[in-house]
Amino acid sequence: MLIVKKAAKEAGKKYEMRFPDETIDALEKKLEEKVKMAAERAKKNGRSTLREYDF
């Protein structure tokens, strides 16, 4: 798991929003997709390190 639930819920409180577990799960899925796409881009460019521009 890439997202710490407590941290996500605290971030939601900052905007006076609740962050239910299913929302965190959806966010986790999106983040995993982004990391996968960035990793594929880095590999295509012959790198084994993710950089900010891969995202």
Q: What is the pLDDT of residue 23?
A: 95
Confidence of residue 1 (pLDDT cuts 50, 70, 90): confident
First and final C-alpha spacing in the chain: 19
Q: How many helices (H) and strands (E) does the chain have?
A: 2, 0
Q: What is the pLDDT of residue 40?
A: 99
Q: What is the pLDDT of residue 22?
A: 96
5-48 pLDDT, tens digit per residue, is 999 999 999 999 999 999 999 999 999 999 999 999 999 999 99
In the structure encoding, which two tokens stand for residue 24, read together? Answer: 């965190």
pTM of this structure: 0.81
CA angle, 31 then 32 then 36, to 5°:
120
